[in-house]
């Protein structure tokens, strides 16, 4: 039975990954899943507790084993003890302090979770060898790059937020550990992930809350921004495929390991205009009954200029993922936002 650690397992993507593993096992076989999360209060903790409760009831039906540990990846002793005890085969590090704006006010927590925490995971993988370390990077590493679509070969040396700098650092640290200790690692650059029980700090969720509260939403660059949105099930499908395909361990001519290291984009690859995105969201919120049929959207929308540091278009070149894993995100914005709206109606009533 493969032993899999998922950090950030009460988080949006982590919880969806754990659910998928509980439902389907790993490569068709039952597995042992250990979830680790510190349940921090960056956003509503009850949403994290809700995700954990859904996981717990799924685990009762599952052939796979499940254990949850509450704690921080920045806690060196906890992490190394857990690795020694469990002897993981695969580690998926999704725990991180996310958010770009929050990093202006709260830089410390980014260093603690994304740098020290990730370093602890690497050290634990070094001392307790794993088959594969998969970790979350982010599209934010592309900074203010103008060339689209963003490809993994593009230069990513100009981060414009501390969050982005920590994610790029993770890729550098992983490269170094892959080289020095022959640890197969894969970094995944996610592009705006959305879906049911998603993150309340993200635009689609925030817009919904605001519209419901009768507030006005602001649409930057008069809606002329294009963004790649990726439905969470597509992200999970990508992670699961990548987990099973660790970069091969090989020796170079000098007899030393060639780092078994890879980085991929996972993004929809079909950038959507912000205004179209908001229109679909509106329609789906009406359809699900989150907002009344006579809701006056025009009265709650404000088109505003671009914000400093914003880029007009960002989207992923996911051809490397398609080439190596035969997968490209498929779920349309309409389908995805429909599921979000239905969940929102059920959850908030």
Stretch that binds ligand NAD, among 5-13, 122-130, 142-150, 250-258 (CB under 6 A): 5-13
Instruction: Say if residue 280 is exposed, middle or buried (CB neighbours under 10 Å; 0-12, 13-18, 19+).
Output: buried
Residue closest to ligand NAD, measured at CB: 11
The DSSP line for 174-205 is HHHHHHHH---EEEEEE--EE-TT--TTSHHH
Cis status, amide bond into 164, omega within 30 of 0: no
Q: Which is nearer to ligand NAD, 130 or 316 (CB)?
A: 316
Active site residue 50: no
Write the binding mask 247 to 286 for ligand NAD: x where contact by CB under 6 A, - elsewhere: ----------------------------------------
Question: Quick one: which segment of 133-141, 149-157, 237-245, 308-316 binds ligand NAD (CB under 6 A)?
Answer: 133-141
Residue ranges of the alpha helices (H) in 244-332?
274-287, 319-325
How many C-beta neighbours within 10 Å does residue 307 have?
Answer: 9
Q: Which is nearer to ligand NAD, 109 or 211 (CB)?
A: 109
* Contact positions with ligand NAD (CB under 6 A) in 184-203: 190, 192-193, 199
94 binds ligand NAD (CB under 6 A): yes
Alpha helices by DSSP H, listed for the chain, are 12-24, 45-61, 76-86, 102-105, 107-110, 117-127, 162-181, 203-212, 232-243, 274-287, 319-325, 333-348
The yes or no reply on residue 168 touching ligand NAD (CB under 6 A) is no
If binding is defined by CB under 6 A, does position 18 make contact with ligand NAD?
Answer: no
When binding is defined by CB under 6 A, the residue of 31, 98, 156, 174 that contacts ligand NAD is: 98
Give me the residues paired with residue 65 across strands. Answer: 32
Applying CB under 6 A, the span of 136-144, 150-158, 294-302, 312-320 interacting with ligand NAD comes to 136-144
Tokens of 287: 């359809």
Task: Give the integer Cα–Cα distance in Å for 190 and 150.
Answer: 12
Q: Give the footprint of ligand NAD on this chain (CB under 6 A).
A: 7-8, 10-14, 36-40, 48, 72-74, 94-98, 113, 117, 136, 138-139, 190, 192-193, 199
């Amino acid at each position: 039975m493969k032993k899999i650690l998922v950090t950030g397992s009460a988080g949006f993507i982590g919880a969806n990954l754990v659910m998928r593993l509980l439902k389907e096992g790993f490569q068709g076989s039952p597995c042992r899943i250990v979830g680790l999360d510190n349940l921090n209060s960056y956003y509503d903790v009850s949403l994290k507790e809700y995700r954990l409760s859904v996981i717990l009831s799924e685990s009762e039906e599952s052939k796979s084993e499940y254990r949850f540990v509450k704690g921080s990846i920045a806690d060196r002793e906890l992490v190394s003890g857990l690795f020694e005890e469990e002897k993981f085969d695969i580690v998926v590090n999704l725990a991180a302090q996310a958010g770009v704006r929050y990093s202006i006010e709260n830089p410390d927590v980014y260093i603690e979770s994304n740098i020290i925490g990730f370093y602890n995971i690497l050290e634990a993988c070094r001392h307790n060898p794993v088959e594969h370390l998969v970790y979350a990077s982010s599209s934010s590493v592309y900074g203010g790059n103008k060339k689209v679509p963003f490809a993994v070969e593009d230069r990513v040396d100009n981060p414009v937020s501390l969050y982005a700098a920590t994610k790029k650092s993770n890729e550098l640290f992983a490269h170094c550990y892959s080289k020095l200790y022959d640890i197969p690692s894969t970094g995944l650059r996610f592009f705006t992930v959305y879906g049911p029980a998603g993150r309340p700090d993200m635009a689609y969720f925030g817009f919904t809350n605001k519209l419901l509260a009768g507030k006005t939403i602001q649409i930057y660059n008069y809606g002329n921004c294009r963004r790649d949105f990726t439905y969470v099930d597509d992200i999970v499908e990508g992670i699961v495929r990548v987990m099973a395909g660790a970069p091969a361990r090989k020796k170079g001519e000098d007899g030393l390991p060639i780092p078994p290291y890879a980085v991929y984009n996972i993004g929809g690859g079909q950038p959507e205009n912000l205004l179209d995105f908001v229109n679909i969201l509106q329609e789906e919120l009406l359809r699900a009954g989150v907002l009344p049929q006579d809701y006056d959207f025009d009265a709650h929308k404000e088109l505003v200029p671009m914000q400093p540091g914003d880029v007009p278009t960002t989207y992923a070149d996911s051809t490397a993922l398609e080439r190596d894993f035969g997968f490209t995100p498929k779920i349309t914005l309409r389908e995805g936002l429909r599921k979000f709206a239905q969940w929102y109606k059920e959850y908030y009533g």
